[in-house]
Structure 1
Amino acid sequence: MGRVIGFELSSQEPEKAAEFYSKVFGWDVAEPHWDYWAVTTGKDDKPGINGGIGKGPSDFPFGTRIQIEVDSMDEAILKAKENGAMIVRDKMEFDDFYLAFLVDPVGLGIGLIEMKK
C-alpha cells in the first residue's frame, strides 16, 4: 500500500517560502540541500507529516505535491501509466532513495519515493 510520507512545496523563491512557514506556523526549516529545505511541521507525538520546500523546476515552478512511498518504483510507474498517469520526471536516483514525479488522470501532481534498502 502506498503511504503518504511527506509533501513538497515548490517555489521560485524557496528561501522566502521557508521564512514564511517558519514565522507563521513555527515549522523547523533545515539548511538547504540541493535547493531543498527539509521541514519539520510538529512533534512526532501528534498526527501529521513533514516535508520540504524546494526550488521548483520549469515544469512545476510552484505548487504542492504529496510524496507517496512505494515498494517498487518501476512497478508503481508501470501501474500508474496503465491507469492514465503522465510521467513528468522518470525515476531519479539520490543517495538513499529513488524519486519520480507524475500527474494523475485528473491533473494532480504527485511524487513517488522508493527508499533504498
Structure 2
Amino acid sequence: MGRVVLFELSSQDPERAANFYSSVFGWKIAEPNWGYQSATTGNDDKPGINGGISKGPSDFPHGTRIQIEVENIDEAIKNSIALGAQVVRGKMEFDHFYLAYLVDPVGNGIGLIQNK
C-alpha cells in the first residue's frame, strides 16, 4: 500500500515561504540541499508528516504535492500511466531514494518515492 510520507511546497520565493511557515507554525526549516529545504512540522510522537520547500520548476511553479512511498517505482509509474496519469519527471536517482513526479488523471500533482 502506498503511503503519503512527505509533502512538497513549490514556490518561486522559497525563502519567503520558509520564513512564513517557520514563523507562523514553528516549523524547523533546514538549509537547502539540491534546492530543497526539509521542513520538520512536529515531533514524531504525534500524527503528521514532514515535508519540504523548494523553488518550483517551470512546469510546477507553485503549489503542493504529496510524496507517496512505493516499493517499486518503475511498476508504480507503469501502472499510473496505464490508468491515465502523465509523467512530469521520470525516475530520478538521489543518494538514498528514487523520485518521480506525475499528474494523476484528474490533475493533481504527486510524487512517487522509493527508498534504496
* Structure 2 residue 88 is the aligned partner of structure 1 residue 82: no
- Which aligned pairs between 1:40-59 and structure 2 lie closer than 5 A? 40-59=40-59
* Structure 2 residue 27 is the aligned partner of structure 1 residue 23: no
1: CA distance between counterparts of 2:70 and 2:111? 10
TM-score by length of 2: 0.99
Q: How big is the shift at 1:34? A: 1.2
1:100 corresponds to which residue?
100
TM-score by length of 1: 0.98
1: CA distance between counterparts of 2:88 and 2:115? 20
Residue deviations 1:26-84, cap 9 Å, x none? 00001110110000001111100000001101100000000000000100000000000
Unaligned runs of 5+ in 2: none
What SS does structure 2 have at the residue aligned with 1:113?
A: strand
Q: How large is the Cα RMSD of the aligned pairs?
A: 0.4
Aligned length: 116
2: CA distance between counterparts of 1:84 and 1:8? 23
2: CA distance between counterparts of 1:34 and 1:13? 16
The percent identity for this pair of structures is: 72
- Which aligned pairs between 1:102-117 and structure 2 lie closer than 5 A? 102-116=102-116
Q: Which runs of 4+ in 1 moved over 3 A?
A: none
